[in-house]
Amino acid sequence: MDVKISPSILNCDFGHLADELEKISNADFVHVDIMDNHFVPNLALGLPIFEAAAQATSVPLDAHLMIENPDRWAPAYAEAGAASVTFHAEACQAPLRLARELRAQGARAGLALKPASPIEPYLDILNEFDMILIMTVEPGFGGQSFIETMMPKVTRTRRAIEAAGLDVWIQVDGGISRSTIEQAAAAGANNFVAGSAVFRAEDAYAEVEKLRELAAG
């Protein structure tokens, strides 16, 4: 399975955004966390920063929308050039309609699940999505500890994808580091978001390579 490393810029130095993005030019995606202080208890980023990031890097952008009413806002991120737009199942009124709209715009459509949300209601409609994001922390903040008990959900999702013969990616987000990425990969994830592990490392570029190597096994 093709491994993708997607560093999260949530806690990067926004005063030097272009330099921060340059450090991770070897990433597969740049993960941009959008928070509205309603869906999650934090306010972070939005379209203007997203557009600035799109200008500053040639790495494809992966928007993670932790917002209410993604039905209303998600298409604007695809419009702004997101390669992938992921919205939360818990916040979305019409996930199939939104996923189809994003795909029609040329973006990959991702469905995200908070730790307590089951994958089972979505198992018959996996073909509607390009990626399932299984949160490995409660969304809202960087630097939290990896919730290991999410691994069975990753494995059940991987099995269902394989059984249906689909090419849907599984992303994990939260607490991914050198010490957790291998178990997430073994469980069936192939797209790894890492915020603090990358941006707190002395050499972000080398850390992306290291994580990719560990995930590939």
For residue 32, give the amino acid letter: V
Segment interacting with ligand DX5 (CB under 6 A) among 87-95, 118-126, 148-156, 187-195: 187-195
Residue 33 found at the interface with ligand DX5 (CB under 6 A): yes
Query: How far is C-alpha 92 from the geometric centre of its chain's CA atoms?
Result: 17
Which H or E element spans position 185? Answer: helix 181-187
Which H or E element spans position 70? Answer: helix 70-79
Residue 194 found at the interface with ligand DX5 (CB under 6 A): yes
Residue 113 found at the interface with ligand DX5 (CB under 6 A): no
Segment interacting with Zn ion (CB under 5 A) among 31-39, 69-77, 94-102, 112-120: 31-39
What is the rounded CA–CA span in Å between residue 79 and residue 77? Answer: 5
Candidates 28, 62, 130, 173; catalytic one: 173
Strand partners, 108: 84
Helix (H, G, I), strand (E, B) or coil at 123: helix
Nearest alpha-carbon partner for 32 in 105, 95, 81: 81
> Could you tell me the smallest distance in angstroms from the CB atom of residue 136 to ligand DX5?
8
Of 107 and 163, which has the nearer Cβ to Zn ion? 107
Task: Give the interface with ligand DX5 as residue ranges (CB under 6 A).
Answer: 8, 10, 31, 33, 64, 137, 139-144, 173-176, 193-197
Task: Give the interface with Zn ion as residue ranges (CB under 5 A).
Answer: 33, 64, 173
Catalytic machinery residues: 33, 173
